[in-house]
Amino acid sequence: MLLPGERLDDLMINELKIIQHEDEFRFSLDAVLLAHFATVKPGISAVDLGAGGGAVSLLLAARGAALVTGVEINERVAAMARRSVELNGLTKQVLIKPGDLREVAGNFSPGLCDLVVANPPYRPAGTGRINPNSGLAIARHEVKATLSDVVAAAKYLMKVRGRFALVHLPERLPEILQTMAAAGLEPKRLQLVYPKADRKAVMALVEGVKGAKPGLDVLSPLVIYQHDGAYTDTVRAYYK
């Protein structure tokens, strides 16, 4: 099942396993937080934009989504994600489609899903060092898709009153909220994520609703680690 350079990792949720490659972008806690932050009602259909190895797609299925379609531009990573779906016996619930999220209009019908999620590249293309590994560069910098591209794709795919959830950097919150509101995906829920209670926020979780009226609910802070380095009760609960 595993090819050279690949490894089998445990998502530690519902006995899910995921195939990853040492030279490609590998999922981290932000994927787990996004999958649990998004509003998932039983039986919904969802699209995971920039699905990577499929961690968020698998976790959404575990939370009760009836159908999750992961869109991933890196064909090698998409192939691993598809094999992870097969390994977990979820081929009827999770579909992985190689493709560019900027081209969803040519590959998907509009308004087809209840939920869109995204763990997009955090850094604009002109900032910082671009990784020479093209796969890592695409995952970390907006080389192939900007924030606006992600929001536009989500808007196209979502039903009216559908939801769009993403995880991103707190420093880009003004841009995120403005871009979502301008696209008609009104930000409705916001939660900041802190490594420890006495540290600065390192992630922001945002969920918007297509066609909703303005009104943002700022949730209580999500703290990842206790002072002794163990996960907090909130994060540990995700792994039950």
* Identity of the residue numbered 228: D
Domain 6-121+128-237 annotated CATH 2.60.40.60: no
> In this model, does residue 36 exceed pLDDT 90?
yes
User: What is the pLDDT at residue 127?
Assistant: 74
Outline where the chain has alpha helix (H).
29-37, 55-62, 75-87, 134-140, 147-157, 173-182, 233-238
User: What is the pLDDT at residue 124?
Assistant: 79
pLDDT tens-digit series, residues 67-88? 999 999 999 999 999 999 999 9
User: What is the pLDDT at residue 160?
Assistant: 97
Closest C-alpha to 60, from 113, 106, 143, 117: 117
Annotated domain spans of the chain: 6-121+128-237
* Model confidence, pTM: 0.95
Outline where 41-99 has alpha helix (H).
55-62, 75-87
From residue 22, give the alpha-carbon distance in Å to each of 9, 60, 223, 233.
11, 24, 29, 31
pLDDT tens-digit series, residues 126-182? 676 777 776 775 767 777 799 999 999 999 999 999 999 999 999 999 999 999 999
| Residue written as token pair 């536009």 | 152
Average pLDDT of the chain is 94
User: What is the pLDDT at residue 151?
Assistant: 98
pLDDT tens-digit series, residues 195-223? 999 999 999 999 999 999 999 999 999 99
